[in-house]
Amino acid sequence: MKDTKKVTKLNYLAPAILMVASRVPYMIIQKVTPETIDPYVSLCLCYGVCLVVVIGMFFLTKKGQNFMLELKKINWTAPALGICLVCMDVSVLLMFRMGWNLSVGSVLLYVLLAIALVIVGAVFYKEKVTLKRLVGIIMCIVGVILISEI
């Protein structure tokens, strides 16, 4: 069946807006989490809350669908994503515990991530690395060097 949903500017930008609106408090909360709290215990509670919220969102948005039937469709990507999320959360928490500034640490993480994804996109998905993108990558690397405190 062909998807006939009209893409408007707002629903096109909505995922980016949601990411920024949730990532800003996420980074601040990671920064202010007390060092006396074990990161893994903290993440256990965090993911418990996530579980409740996501299950609630399923039932609010997927009226008439059977949760257990949907759960049976899950493949290796869901647990792999879970492992990635744990590693990402631990890395951010440890980064702040090592004394990184909120702004510098965040910029460093996202610039390095963007560079890595350009490489992955080019190698595995045959995405074109244009001269413009290459200049952008070089500028990102220069920016990381300029703001880095290492």
> In angstroms, rounded to a whole number, what is the distance separating the alpha carbons of residues 80 and 84?
6
- For residue 69, what are its two tokens? 């039937």
pLDDT of residue 56: 95
Q: How many H helices and E strands in the chain?
A: 6, 0
Q: What does the pLDDT look like over 32-53, one tens digit per residue?
A: 999 999 999 999 999 999 999 9
What's the DSSP call for residue 78?
H
- The pLDDT averaged over each successive group of 10 residues in the chain (150 residues) is 73 92 95 95 96 96 91 96 96 93 88 92 95 91 83
The Cα–Cα gap between 6 and 58 comes to: 23
Q: In sequence order, what DSSP letters do the residues of 105-140 get, joined into one string?
A: HHHHHHHHHHHHHHHHHHHHH-----HHHHHHHHHH
Domain ranges (residues) in the chain: 35-97, 100-150
